[in-house]
Amino acid sequence: MLGLNHTSMSEFILVSFSAFPHLQLMLFLLFLLMYLFTLLGNLLIMATVWSERSLHTPMYLFLCALSVSEILYTVAIIPRMLADLLSTQHSIAFLACASQMFFSFSFGFTHSFLLTVMGYDRYVAICHPLCYKVLMSPRGCTCLVGCSWAGGSVMGMVVTMTIFQLTFCGSHEIQHFLCHVPPLLKLACGNNVPAVALGVGLVCIMALLGCFLLILLSYTFIVADILKIPSAEGRNKAFSTCASHLIVVIVHYGFASVMYLKPKGPHSQEGDTLMATTYTVLTPFLSPIIFSLRNKELKVAMKRTFLSKLFLRHLSGWCGSADRI
């Protein structure tokens, strides 16, 4: 993070959930359980795909990459938020704040790019099945995943370097539970702040909107092809391969639009803080649930892989006890 301007301020104070002192313990327990479930769900998906050879396909490779980005995104935000809910000291160093912004934006954009790649994967599988193995070769899939991660890192670097080149003066309280762009811009001073705010906003919106439009275009072709299938069973089978991805896209962009595209006006800090948790905590929490429950092949593989191992372990333990008797 070379060139960061911290001559006017060495640390910030994250206001976090100080507006809800009577709810902080309850929020801590709720967010902790959701965070642990998010980690467990994504690790379970990754372990299932790793252990089941039948799932070594492009779709599940992308799903594993998505789980990794989701884990890293939550790690960048939630542990600090949980610590602040129990602590009275909410200070965060200038460099730590910049690092949190970089990692949260990098993994957040990587998530969006991977969802776009998964939409393209479903488009090729349904609309061009004969070319699928060629277009989605192992090398091609690795390249798509690598480009998603590289693109996310570039976006994170651009946003972070742009924001932290500003001079911060006056109050050092960030009205949020993480180092986020809008509350930091309120602490910046200088004639170029409006231009920076406009530029960063346009870059982020164009990237997210571009991903969304590409996914929408993919599903336009997918739906058109599915409707051409003569049998209802064939249509249902084709659509079932897209259902979990489509639901996650709706949840991801639905909560993102509520958080980032809400109309400007007199919003309370408490309302904005709680609204932000829908994207930073609730969306990652719902994603593994949706993929696990809506993807029949993954659900069957999970049961076969982990329940069978658990049963065999229990059976071997019972047999060992019987032998000793």
Residue 305 DSSP code:
I
Mean pLDDT across 284-299: 82
Q: Quick one: how far is CA 144 from the chain centroid?
A: 17
Mean pLDDT across 268-274: 65
Mean pLDDT across 93-103: 94
pLDDT, position 8: 54
In 10 A of CB 256, how many CB atoms? 17
Mean pLDDT score of the chain: 84
297: pLDDT confidence band, cut at 50, 70 and 90?
Answer: confident
Written as one string, the DSSP assignment of 49-74 is HHH-GGG-SHHHHHHHHHHHHHHHHH
Per-residue pLDDT for 39 more than 80?
Answer: yes
pLDDT, position 3: 47
* Residue 273 vs residue 184, higher pLDDT: 184
pLDDT, position 116: 96
306: pLDDT confidence band, cut at 50, 70 and 90?
Answer: low
What CA–CA distances, in Å, run from 303 to 42, 52, 158, 282, 311? 15, 11, 43, 25, 11
Per-residue pLDDT for 290 more than 90?
Answer: no
Question: The pTM is what?
Answer: 0.87
pLDDT, position 313: 56
- Beta-bridge partner residues of 174: 14
Angle, in degrees to the nearest 10, between helices 138-163 and 58-86 = 30
Per-residue pLDDT for 275 more than 60?
Answer: yes
pLDDT in tens, 149-160: 999 999 999 999
pLDDT, position 257: 77
Per-residue pLDDT for 295 more than 60?
Answer: yes
> Any residues with CB less than 8 A from the CB of 225 and at least 6 apart, and which?
126, 127, 238
* Residue 3 vs residue 51, higher pLDDT: 51
Q: Give 272: exposed, middle or buried? Use CB within 10 Å, 0-12, 13-18, 19+.
A: middle
pLDDT in tens, 208-266: 999 999 999 999 999 999 988 888 888 888 888 888 888 899 988 888 777 666 655 55
Per-residue pLDDT for 271 more than 90?
Answer: no
Residue 262 DSSP code:
P
pLDDT, position 96: 93
CA angle, 63 then 69 then 70, to 5°:
85
Coil, strand or helix at 220: helix
23: pLDDT confidence band, cut at 50, 70 and 90?
Answer: confident
Q: Is residue 301 left, alpha or beta, with left meaning phi > 0 and alpha meaning psi from -120 to 50? A: alpha
Written as one letter, the residue type at 292 is S
Strand segments, DSSP code E, in 150-260 are: 167-168, 173-174, 188-189
Q: All domains of the chain, ordered by start, with CATH? A: 11-317 (1.20.1070.10)
Q: Are strands 173-174 and 11-14 parallel, antiparallel or unpaired?
A: parallel
* Residue 26 vs residue 18, higher pLDDT: 26
pLDDT, position 304: 75
Percent of the chain with pLDDT over 90: 43
Q: Out of 269-273, 293-297, 315-319, which region has the weakest mean confidence (pLDDT)?
A: 315-319
pLDDT, position 105: 95
- Give the pair of three-digit tokens for residue 32: 């902790």
pLDDT in tens, 192-203: 899 999 999 999
* Residue 79 vs residue 238, higher pLDDT: 79
> Any residues with CB less than 8 A from the CB of 273 and at least 6 apart, and which?
16, 17, 19, 175, 176, 177
CA distance 98 to 1: 8
Per-residue pLDDT for 86 more than 70?
Answer: yes
